[in-house]
Structure 1
Amino acid sequence: MLTFRVEKLVPGGYGLARTERGVVLVKGALPGELVRGEPKWKKGTLFLEAPEILEPHPARYPEPLPPSADLPLAYEAQLPLKEALVSDALERVAKLEAPLAPIHPSPRPLAYRTAAQYARHPLGGLAYRLPESRELHRLEEDPLLAEPLAWAFDVLKLWPLPVEEVALRGSLLEGKVLLGLVGGVPEALKRPAKALVKEGFAGVVWAEPSPKGRFRGRVTPLAGERTLLEAFGPLKATVSVESFSQVNPLAAGDLLEEARTLVLGGRRALELYAGSGLFSLLLSPRYEEVVAVEISKEAVRRGEMDRNRLGADNVRFLRMDARKAEALGAFDLVVVDPPRAGLSPEVRAYLKETRPREILYVSCDPATWARDVGALVQGGYRLAFARPYEFLPFTHHVEVLSLLRL
């Protein structure tokens, strides 16, 4: 059994400590806390997953939080830690000393999430599935949920639905919630789905469980609407329970507002990993031609609906893999918002070969962002702007808005 003090927060939400056995990564511990436990080796690293907190951080958050909230710290104390994650990645991974703009806080530290997923607990109610053990942690409430998701959570706790999981997507703009039922038999769920719509849900779909991920198998509408309209700062765009949209629309709206002030405008713009094309629609007045590339059929469908509704006739959606971007030629601006793995080698090579005048890079992982920025700077770009954004309070996650120019 080891007793030691945590030194700092590192990517992945772990506290890092240096002990006589070596470096230990501690789950759920905050910088400065004195902890005790028996670390175990995993993939060549010592991990302590359930530490005993002997001396808590003075700003440790005292109220209950779901297990996904792995940064249980008073909100004002979270922001400098997240800003440090980005600056550390820039210095350590990208080998750059470029200054960061101050972190932009979330408009709401609690009640910000407009999307969430829960497992059905065998004894009733909703539960969070722990990533490592797959154990279920039963929840009575989730303070991270925005209204009307908090209402939906309370309703679903009492409904004995024969499904594996439920997924929620809400709209602050419309005050409505969409429900996804994962697993079970769709025919048997049609009557409960209609009853749930009468209860107040905007729409219900059924999804086939898939090892590839949620909503990667068959999806069948059961009752009500399939999409809602949400405000993301200057844009109103459709959201659905079936494909990804930012879960904190107020913070995402602030990022979009700033992003459109950074770029110069020009003839051609390209958005890779576009989702439903928020950046393409946002920047369409600044460019003659805008191409949005996305592999998700559902996201492209929503993007085309928004384009037609907004009259953005110069925006074209292509359903294709971003790794094949070389077939599209050169652009004045390329916008990238990749998954946590960052840019693929093919996309990095495409950017170096076609050399767009500007690259607007939005990232949800500081380490892979810094890796890609470092490679692009070596290829002749300079980091003209970078600001951390807080999208997910009470978690270790942090977003980055950045601009690279030749």
Structure 2
Amino acid sequence: MTEAYSEQADDLIELELTTMAHGGSALGRHNGRAIFVPYAIPGERITARITQDKGRFAYAEGVTLLEGSEARVQPRCPHFGPRRCGGCHWQHIDYTAQLAFKEQIVRDQLARIGGISEPNVLPIIASPSAWQYRTHVTLHVTPDGQLGFIGTDDQQIVPIQECHIIRPELQDLLERLDVETLDGNVLARVRLQVGTESADRLIALSTLDDQPPAVELDLPLSVSFLSEDERAQPLIGTGKVHYTIKGRTFQVTAGSFFQVNLPLAETLVELVLARLALQGTEHVLDLYSGVGLFTAFLAERAALVTAIEGFPTAVDDADANLRDLSNVTLIEGLVEDVLPELDETFDAVVLDPPRSGVEITALDALAALAPAQIVYVSCDPATLARDARRLIAKGYTLQDVQPLDMFPQTYHIEAVATFTRS
């Protein structure tokens, strides 16, 4: 290790923070080395203590705030901060600044990972609500029955009494739940979910022994057991909630994915439809189609839609949600398995992969289909940039990227990227 990299863990250093990095930490440099500091803000000057020395870079924790940022605000939640709840990352940052940082991060990731020198990143779309927007949340259970989130150390569970990013209906449930060990089944996780209507509420329970727990309930809601493979077993009620987007109602069973921020879920649909500008003659492929959110609106505007989804429960939901549409083919299977076997021609493709992005075999198979247009809905700018680089190498042009703040108070970013075949 050279002299420039000689700091040891617990050494104090002075830093001027210049950039917000992907992952939510502010970046400064000491002796030329990148130092990442959570809960700090670009423009601040601090003293910091190295906590993890990685050689070419390091992680540190702020010790003293020498010069603060105008963007620094008082966090709303008592559980927020170092060594506390890991659910939020940016409550200490003014919301307008959060938006600017997210837009910058998308641009930086596309340039650094994607190799795109001047990506066309459009102004970020803000969430209508910066607080109380989440329609579902997964809480972990401590051995003594307290509910909480995984802490910032990714190890301990931090018990919470309040959460300022969940819908008020879920906060009400959180306050009223009494978690106990029943019949020897120890609860591991409790998922709270609310539909568009406040009375449409669901609790999904996971246990340490993967066996359904006994449940006593005096609240008007559904309860399901979620096994280790995320399969749902209703214990009380239907085990489903319902979301209305642009006049269509979607059933969502416990374990199936649906966007947590309903106003921006509607915006996502509108963005995808606007990018495609369908004329009614197209055959569209919808990958990672989930419960059919995009599929339904694509089918109303295209001649044919083929949808691929790998999670069986979501496929069952999609089958119910798309029952009134005769021009949809729904295929159950992993995208990376099904896509290379398709021999049809598609005019456009919509994909909404998980945070890990698209597997390389699936991405190559997608490019081989040579659709004229690809609309990629991403929840991670790093994997979007990685996949964009490969699509560009396969003959596509990135037209633009539209970020959305689906997850205020966190560093997570949603974005819609539009590619056309060169």
**CA deviation string 1:241-261 (max 9, x = no partner):** 312211112111111112212
Separation in 1, partners of 2:316, 2:310? 11
CA offsets per residue over residues 209-247 of structure 1, 9 Å max, x none?
Answer: x4xxxxx15643211121111023453212233122111
Structure 1 ranges of 4+ moved more than 6 A: 185-188
C-alpha displacement of 1:302: 0.6
> In 2, are the aligned partners of 1:364 and 1:399 still within 8 Å (CA)?
yes
**Corresponding position of 1:59:** 71
Taking the TM superposition and a 5 Å limit, the aligned residue runs for 1:60-75 are 60-62=72-74, 63-64=76-77, 65=80, 66-72=85-91, 73-75=93-95
8 Å CA contact 2:161–2:174 kept in 1: the answer is no
- CA distance in 2 between counterparts of 1:225 and 1:77 reads 42
Task: Tell me what 1:296 maps to.
Answer: 311
Q: How does 1:178-217 map to 2 (within 5 A)?
A: 178-183=202-207, 189-192=213-216, 195=217, 198-200=218-220, 202-208=221-227, 210=228, 216=229
Cα distance in 1, alignment partners of residues 26 and 199 from structure 2: 38
Is the CA contact 2:49–2:63 (under 8 Å) kept in the aligned structure 1? Answer: no
Secondary structure at 1:286 match in 2: coil
The corresponding residue for 2:136 is 115
Equivalent of residue 399 in structure 1, options 397, 402, 414: 414
1:231/1:253 contact within 8 Å kept: no
The residue correspondences of 1:123-142 to structure 2 (distance < 5 A) are: 123-130=144-151, 132-142=153-163
Q: Which residue of structure 2 aligns with residue 328 of structure 1? A: 342
Match of 1:276 among 275, 284, 291: 291
Instruction: Give the letter for the 2:203 counterpart.
Output: L
CA shift for structure 1 position 369 = 0.9
* SS, match of residue 397 in structure 1: coil
1:386 aligns with 2:401: yes
Distance of aligned partners of 1:218 and 1:405 in 2 relative to their CA distance in 1, 3 Å threshold = closer
Partner of 1:85: 105
The CA deviation at 1:398 is: 0.8
The residue identity in structure 1 corresponding to 2:340 is E
The CA distance in 2 between the partners of 1:332 and 1:85, in whole Å, is: 31
Paired residues for 1:3-402 under 5 Å:
3-20=14-31, 22-41=33-52, 44=55, 46-48=57-59, 50-54=61-65, 55-62=67-74, 63-64=76-77, 65=80, 66-72=85-91, 73-96=93-116, 97-130=118-151, 132-156=153-177, 158-160=178-180, 162-183=186-207, 189-192=213-216, 195=217, 198-200=218-220, 202-208=221-227, 210=228, 216=229, 219-265=232-278, 266-308=281-323, 311-324=324-337, 325-329=339-343, 330-402=345-417
User: In structure 2, the residue corresponding to 1:24 is in which secondary structure?
Assistant: strand
| Letter matched to residue 57 of structure 1 | S
| SS, match of residue 39 in structure 1 | strand
Bigger mean CA offset, 332-341 vs 380-389: 380-389
User: What's the TM-score, normalizing by structure 2?
Assistant: 0.86
Cα distance 1:188–1:45, how it changes in 2: closer, same or farther (>3 A)?
same
2:193 touches 2:201 (CA, 8 Å); kept in 1? Answer: yes
Alignment-mate amino acid for residue 207 of structure 1: L
CA, structure 1 residues 223+185, in 2 after alignment: closer, same or farther (shift >3 Å)? farther
Change (3 A) 1:217 1:250: closer
Percent identical among aligned pairs is 27
Q: Kindly state the Cα deviation for residue 45 of structure 1 after the two structures are TM-superposed.
A: 5.5
- Alpha-carbon distance between aligned partners in 2 of 1:187 and 1:101, rounded to the nearest angstrom: 48
1:359 Cα deviation (Å)? 0.4
Tell me, yes or no, if the aligned pair for 1:231 and 1:237 is still in contact at 8 Å: yes
> 1 CA distance for matches of 2:406 and 2:368?
33
Question: 1:172 aligns to what SS in structure 2?
Answer: coil
Secondary structure of the corresponding residue to residue 377 of structure 2: strand
Query: Aligned letter for 2:88?
Result: A
Query: Alignment partner of 1:111: what SS?
Result: coil
Which deviates further from its counterpart, 1-10 or 123-132?
A: 123-132
Q: Which one-letter code corresponds to 1:117 in the other structure?
A: T
What amino acid maps onto 1:235 in structure 2?
A: R
In 2, are the aligned partners of 1:14 and 1:25 still within 8 Å (CA)? yes
Q: Any conservation in 2 of the 1:147–1:172 contact (CA below 8 Å)?
A: no
CA distance in 1, matches of 2:89, 2:60: 12
Conserved? CA contact 1:115–1:247, under 8 Å: yes
Quote how far apart the aligned CAs of 1:388 are. Answer: 0.4
Q: Secondary structure of the residue that 2:303 maps to in structure 1?
A: strand
Is the 2:89–2:410 Cα contact (8 Å) retained in structure 1?
Answer: yes
| Superposition RMSD in Å | 2.2
- Higher helix share goes to which structure? 1
Query: Which runs of 5 or more structure 2 residues have no equivalent in the other structure?
Result: 1-11
Q: Is the 8 A contact 1:147 1:175 kept in 2?
A: no
SS of the residue 2:88 aligns to: coil
2:212, 2:289 → 1: CA distance? 36
Change (3 A) 1:48 1:56: farther
TM-score by length of 1: 0.90
Contact kept, 8 Å, 2:188 with 2:207, in 1: the verdict is yes
